Structure 1
Amino acid sequence: MAATPDTVHWRGVHHLALVTADMDATVRFWHGVLDARLVATLALPAFRHYFFDIGEGSTIAFFEYTDQSIDSFAKPAGVPYAKAAQFDHLSMHLPDEDALLRLRDRLKEHGCEVTDVIDHGFLRSIYFSDPNGIAMEASWWTLDPTGRPADHSDGRLFADPDPVPAVRELRDEGRLRHTVATRLVDGVIEDLRREGITLER
């Protein structure tokens, strides 16, 4: 049942925006290991922004900032950490421009600050915040790259003019030459050991 008579027609998460200090390794892991296909890239002088298909119009997107040092860390899930900086913003998925405009107007009617519609080429978005200060976005795909074969040479979707080596491999060879390995966070292993569970590394 809708929360209000004039409901917002959410379609799930458009993209969850995270932060990486190594976009090439991120492509090799998300596309090559997790099989979450790289479906779009953006690049500005200040950052790269790459999108990975996780189904039904939803993506995980990573920022890699230019000439900006990022403190990396690893922590077990669900454990608070003051420097948890990988999260950037959450974008919710809407079906079309009309839904985006209606949500913008609804936010204004409720006294919430919201941007005008921003055209990113293959997606259009508005930006606002939740009461916790979480950066929020609502978006719709003007050219939906999910749920179909990716053409890594399509400049409409792969707009980074100087992509990381992994993207050049996908574009030129149709595959990644190698992927990356990861390790469990020590805190997770310690928690499992307390429960009598051991893992082979």
Structure 2
Amino acid sequence: MINIKQIHHVAYRCKDAKETVEFYRDVLNMEFLVAIAEDQVPSTKEPDPYMHVFLDAGMGNILAFFELPTQPEMGKDPNTPAWCQHIAFEVEDREALISAKAELEARGIDVIGVTNHEIIHSIYFFDPNGHRLELTYRDGTDEQMKKLKEVAPLMLEEWSVTKRAPKHAAWLHEQEFSDED
């Protein structure tokens, strides 16, 4: 039986490895851990030079990027909305989220939110590669989380048949979506 301990790293493509490291290091305070560069992909043996960089996203989580200078310019899946694919990072509390929002905006970064998801509150923005990022803090109760876990299988089953949003957890967004200060 496979026994996953945690995510070791998640890797995305970037336009410029140096610019990407500087953004995550200087804006989000992630430590730059490792750089690996090869002229050949180790797993496939394809000739494809790359720079692979790794950043500490906290608590053993690693965020990695590949710069691929010989490949066509990176793009987005035109069939996937920009809000869908994102990386979410957790901050300590509301104060940390509000402070991060102010800091990002002071750097000229457009920020959406604070968005109230009832069990979490989040802000959203983009990195220099166009990857959507989320900063969030948890404030859901144990009872709320238990309730969500209980209805998850029912919701998934209903969705698989109807392809319409089940209402078991509609209470999450019955209030206003945004609670900006």
TM-score, normalized by length of structure 1?
0.35
Structure with bigger strand share is 2
Greater RCO structure (CA 8 Å; 6+ sep): 1
TM-score (norm 2): 0.39
Q: Which has the higher helix share?
A: 2
